[in-house]
Structure 1
Amino acid sequence: MAAERPSAGQGLVTAASGALAAAIRSGPLDQDDDTGKSSAVVLDWERRLGVRVVGAGFATPHLPVAAAPTTPEEALAVAAEHFAFCPDTVPRSRRPYTLAAYAGRVADADRWDF
């Protein structure tokens, strides 16, 4: 008889911030499995943009944004950060889909999912 695999569940983690808790096993792991890198990026967004980690799937952090970029220049810079963090952020299925078009979505969003 095969052993049963444990099912996925929820858990609580003591951490100074959601970004640090997310380092346990979240981030764009299909791109890079170094959770320290993804945690550092999310921690920077936490400090600069009021991002909070409210949930995470296997490779998908869910981040409400308190202070999204307000100018087109800021939005384009953050869009470039999103693309560097997770290239799948700019959907391949919608090509041609420019970084500038995505920047408009970044500025208007109250939540980012990767």
Structure 2
Amino acid sequence: MADSDVKTVLKAFSVAFAAGDLDGMVACLGDDFVWTLPTGEADPRGHVVRGKEAARDYLRQRFFEDKANAPVFSDSTVEFSGDLAIVRYRVRAPGVDADGLEVYRVTEGKIRSKEAYWKQVSWPQA
């Protein structure tokens, strides 16, 4: 997929996110979408959301129903290479202020995967 196609899909997703348009965000996702989150207890890789409708449910809950605790993203930069987009950003939420990175894979005009990582500023104490 050309970088311009990946840019178009990622731009549509970002615009929908900024507008609070859940349907617009989900329209950018493939049915086989997999989202690996930077947090979560169930899996050493973080919580994994599988499928478009599961992503809709997670997005609704995390960003739209609990706005007081929803992460706020800023200082974003994006790089493109083939079917990948790499997004660097700052994330803030209650108790969190970190740099983050996400790797998106886009094929056939849809986001197929989103892997999110947050930089740890300290290691948990035993």
Fold match by TM threshold 0.5: no
Richer in strand (by share): 2
Name which structure has the greater RCO, CA cutoff 8 Å, separation 6+. Answer: 2
TM-score normalized by the length of structure 1: 0.32
Richer in helix (by share): 1
State the structure with more CA Rg: 1
